[in-house]
Amino acid sequence: MGRSAKLELLRRIVPLFLAVLGIVGATTFMTLLSGALCIAAGIGMYCALPQSKMPNGAVRPVIQPSVLVTDAIGFGVGVPLFSASLLGAGMSTGVAGFWLFFILMLPASLSIVFFMVAVRSETSWVRFFGNGFEVTQLGLTARVRYTDLNAMRIRQVHLARGLGWLSGLFDGNGRKRVSMLGSSEDSKTFVFIANSGTEFLVPSEGIPDLQRVLIGMDRAGVELPEGISERERKKIRRVRERMYRKPEDDETVTGCGTGSGVGKETGTGSDTVPLDVARIAETVRKYREQQV
């Protein structure tokens, strides 16, 4: 997890702690005003801390519901359940207080899952260049050149209904698999396989210009995926040859005219220079004679 992802997680955990402290404190050892100030401080921190910004040209996976709704669900689950577990454990005695705390703490921890989904969406994106791509997940960036790719495959991904927003969190957070999947239940996914064996999963909606990517891969010598027709392959190669053809010698410029023509122009210039010098010398000589 990178610095930006840690900051985004802190932007949610600290307000959650302050809200729980305000509710529990106002009920037990604090005044109502102090509890309200704790809750207000949590809201202010959530709004005031800077958010992660995407670089130009980057595309991030889209989740449904949105980040704000996901955060609202996380706070809606965590604040009342964490507060109830602490208050129940404090007011109960013996084993009953322990079990009440344990039973309420488990569902309350689901708020962290919602927060991680939001953090991943805010700090993960992909950006393509002419010679490769850059993947940032949870604030950690990996840059891959097309020449470092071993193969590319097209895979149709089917996700369980209503659970698409969880796919990116649990699918591809390791070193050998990086996933940019969003919340779409049915998506055509491009799998980029590096020479090191690492797989990068990018949905088709995350690639703004697929033809440009395929041209860059074809130029780097990477075999195009099987899902592309032969007609499309030929079209990609034609476009690539037009875009990256070698500069040709401009024969019409270097070879225009005849050798005699060029020599005549040079010769005319060389004959004119001594004649002009003689005329200037004669003019100066006559001027000096008149002065004498």
Structure confidence by residue, pLDDT tens digits, 111-142: 999 999 889 888 989 999 888 999 988 888 88
Q: What's the mean per-residue pLDDT of the chain?
A: 78
Check if the beta carbon of residue 197 is closer than 8 Å to that of residue 176.
yes
- Residue 188 pLDDT grade (very low, low, confident, very high; cuts 50, 70, 90): confident
Are both 132 and 237 inside the same structural domain? yes
Q: How far apart are CA 71 and CA 49, in angstroms?
A: 15
Does residue 102 carry a pLDDT above 60? Answer: yes
68 occurs within a structural domain? yes
Domain limit, last residue, from 122, 142, 158: 122
Are both 115 and 161 inside the same structural domain? no
Does residue 105 carry a pLDDT above 70? Answer: yes
Task: Return the CATH number at 141.
Answer: 2.30.29
CA neighbor of 66 nearest in space, from 13, 16, 117, 108: 117
DSSP character at residue 59 = B
- Both tokens of 211, joined, read 């033809």
Q: How far apart are CA 132 and CA 140, in angstroms?
A: 17
Check if the beta carbon of residue 59 is closer than 8 Å to that of residue 206.
yes
Q: How far apart are CA 69 and CA 257, in angstroms?
A: 75
pLDDT one-digit tens code per residue, 132-175: 999 988 888 889 999 998 888 888 776 665 555 565 555 555 55
- Residue 97 pLDDT grade (very low, low, confident, very high; cuts 50, 70, 90): confident
Are both 96 and 71 inside the same structural domain? yes
pLDDT value, residue 256: 41
227 occurs within a structural domain? yes
Split into its structural domains, the chain has a count of 2
185 occurs within a structural domain? yes
Check if the beta carbon of residue 194 is closer than 8 Å to that of residue 148.
yes
| Cα angle: 75, vertex 76, 80; to 5 degrees | 100
Are both 15 and 96 inside the same structural domain? yes
Q: Are strands 199-203 and 173-174 parallel, antiparallel or unpaired?
A: unpaired
Tell me the residue range of the domain where 114 lies.
3-122
